Chains A and B, each alone.
Chain A
Amino acid sequence: MSTLALPRAVLERWKRPDVSWLAVRVWQRNRDVFMNIWKSEAIWPFVEPLLTLVALGFGLGDFIELEGQQSYIEFIGPGLLGAYAMWMASAEACWGAYFRIDQKTFDAILSTPATIDDVTSGEVLWASTRSLISVVCIFIVVLVFGAIVSPLAVLIFPLSLLPGLMFGSISLSYAAVARSVSSLNYFFAVFITPQFWLCGAFFPLDQLPGWVQAAAWFTPAFHVVEIYRGLATGNPEWVHLANLAWMIVVTAGFYALAITLMRRRLVK
């Protein structure tokens, strides 16, 4: 494939998405699968952030002094919420969707009145739902550890849906061009994991060189953590609206990309 083949294929396939109510039917299919397995998996969304919180919050946190009176637990609480919201939505739309492509689950759906755009939209909606579920679980953990200071933090629940749509769209775009499982690992190693550590969830970015701070602004997870931290600590600022706008624009762009790449992958 020449370097230009992919952008050209995307442009050729662009037309207004043909999305209907059936996108919710696709979402329901994923919910059914989740309900089949959640009992055996319910413990993990709690365990992993709990371990991270204990190890970093109490272990490492003792060595860390932050500006003002803020404890380290209060600092990483909202960071964990943002980082795991990204992780869950991406895992679902990347691994999950890749296997559904591979197992021909979507091919079966396409022979019903549902369109490929319904499938793409249903998948992104489901990734967003996984983000919300994950945020609810972790919220309980960080609340118990006293990492939530302000009642404004309840706004994090509705605001977990947008990052879910954003990471869902980005990851689904990648899954739609991935040709093997190992290339999904690559996506996580190069894109998701560095964001996890460098989005400002675990340490303040202002201690880092200026160019790293500038680079962080271009990573989606940074904006999620900024907003969550503002709400959890009770310090919402106008700049958070800019973070929100940034996410809306990126979400819209990647949703359009996911739509065209999924058409390219599944409609032949």
Chain B
Amino acid sequence: MQQEIIAARALTKRYGDFTAVDGISFSVQRGECFGFLGPNGAGKTTTIRMITGVSPVTDGSLAVDGMHAQVDARGIKSILGVVPQDDNLDLELTVRQNLRAYARYFDLPKQVAEARIDEILTFFQLADRQKDRIDALSGGLKRRLTVARGLLNSPKILVLDEPTTGLDPQARHMVWQKLRSLRSQGVTMLLTTHYMEEAAHLCDRLVILDQGRIIAEGTPAELISAHAGRDVIEVHATPDERLAVLRYLEGRQGVMVEEGGDILYVYSDGQNGFNPASLRDLAERVIYRNANLEDVFLKLTGRGLAAE
């Protein structure tokens, strides 16, 4: 069996004069969790919508499990489970009816569907709510049901567009736990998020998108070491202190400084004999921590607010 399950080459989406996705190429392997990171408007959702066959490809090629998006959208959609950014559960049906109606679009035989619905309701701890109307559910429950719905057809690829946006920490960890469990069962996952913690938790590999282009690609660890080094020192400094800190760091090997508002971010690869404790003498508040994906993200896409 071929390892590559999604292959995008120079994939492009234009709306009139506006280019939402600007010729991106990537490939997703079977069984991995692949992430799309990027600020709002970077083209994450548009890319997902092309992969899931609901938005026509303007240019380039896109193959999912050997089927071409421009030719066999129905075929592609039949092997995907889609969890959209906004819950679009059917408000006029109960929890179980939602799943039943959805299963019918995949032409699951009735008995298979009913068994699958029972299984999924149990897995997501929703069985005792199955007769409830959707508007009686909390945000976390709705999200769980939306993920559950995406799994009804036992998809080869589960596509999640910001699966935990708007959830409280408990609900978020619950969804993550379910997703990790699915990943360990070998389900290929595609994920967009702007929670870096979520990407670090779940993704084997990811790309960072900005203004419709891929600006970085790799495993979370690779991206961190390539773009943010090993350690980060956050220096909260007054303008005077700031000057002293900058002067102290000037010309040091393996050290990079970035200014973000009232904070100086000092990236260090940890192999230059530079002692971060020495900064404590120069500024009031110095925080020393490991570099993370958020540093990579902010460094590459800018610490300012994305222009809407």
Is B a genuine binding partner of A?
yes
Interface residues of A (CB under 8 A from B): 20-22, 25, 28-29, 32-33, 36, 103-105, 107-115, 267-268
- Given A36-B93, A113-B77, A22 and B105 contact (CB-CB distance below 8 Å): yes
Inter-subunit contact B84/A267 (CB<8 Å)? no
Residue of A nearest to B15 (CB): A268
Complex Cα distance A111/B49, Å?
A: 9
Complex Cα distance A107/B53, Å?
A: 12
User: Which of A25, A105, A110 has a CB less than 8 Å from the CB of B104?
Assistant: A25
- Given A112-B105, A267-B56, A104 and B88 contact (CB-CB distance below 8 Å): yes
Contact flags B152-194 to A (C-beta < 8 A → 1, else 0):
0100000000000000000000000000000000000000000
Residues of A within 8 A of B149 (CB): 108
Residue of A nearest to B46 (CB): A268
Does B89 sit within 8 A of A, measured CB to CB?
Answer: yes
Residues of B within 8 A of A112 (CB): 77-78, 102, 105-106, 153
User: Which of A25, A36, A108, A113 has a CB less than 8 Å from the CB of B84?
Assistant: A108
Complex Cα distance A104/B100, Å?
A: 18
B residues 203-240 touching A (CB-CB < 8 Å): none
Does B97 sit within 8 A of A, measured CB to CB?
Answer: yes
Chain B nearest Cβ from A245, distance in angstroms? 35
Complex Cα distance A129/B221, Å?
A: 58
- Given A25-B105, A33-B92, A268 and B84 contact (CB-CB distance below 8 Å): no
Interface pairs A-B: 7 shortest CB-CB: A112-B105, A104-B88, A111-B82, A108-B88, A33-B92, A25-B104, A113-B78
Residues of A within 8 A of B82 (CB): 111
Chain A nearest Cβ from B105, distance in angstroms? 4
Inter-subunit contact A111/B54 (CB<8 Å)? yes
Inter-subunit contact A109/B105 (CB<8 Å)? yes
Complex Cα distance A1/B78, Å?
A: 37
Chain A nearest Cβ from B108, distance in angstroms? 11
Inter-subunit contact A29/B101 (CB<8 Å)? yes
Inter-subunit contact A28/B78 (CB<8 Å)? no
Inter-subunit contact B104/A28 (CB<8 Å)? yes
Inter-subunit contact A107/B88 (CB<8 Å)? yes
Complex Cα distance A244/B88, Å?
A: 40
Inter-subunit contact A111/B84 (CB<8 Å)? yes
Residues of A within 8 A of B73 (CB): 115
Residues of A within 8 A of B88 (CB): 103-105, 107-108
Complex Cα distance A25/B84, Å?
A: 21
Complex Cα distance A28/B91, Å?
A: 16
Chain B nearest Cβ from A205, distance in angstroms? 40
Inter-subunit contact B74/A115 (CB<8 Å)? yes
- Given A32-B97, A108-B88, A267 and B105 contact (CB-CB distance below 8 Å): no
